[in-house]
Amino acid sequence: VEEKKGHDEL
């Protein structure tokens, strides 16, 4: 399972 990337939206 790919670890959730950080928040990439504004």
Question: Nearest distance from residue 9's CB to other proteins, in Å?
Answer: 7
Binding of other proteins by 3 (CB under 8 A):
no
User: What 3-state class would DSSP assign to 3?
Assistant: coil
Q: How far is the C-alpha of 9 from the C-alpha of 2, rounded, in Å? A: 19
10 contributes a contact to other proteins by CB under 8 A: yes
- Any contact of residue 8 with other proteins (CB under 8 A)? yes
Q: How far is the CB of 5 from other proteins (least distance, A)?
A: 9
The residues that touch other proteins, with contacts defined as CB under 8 A, are: 4, 6-10
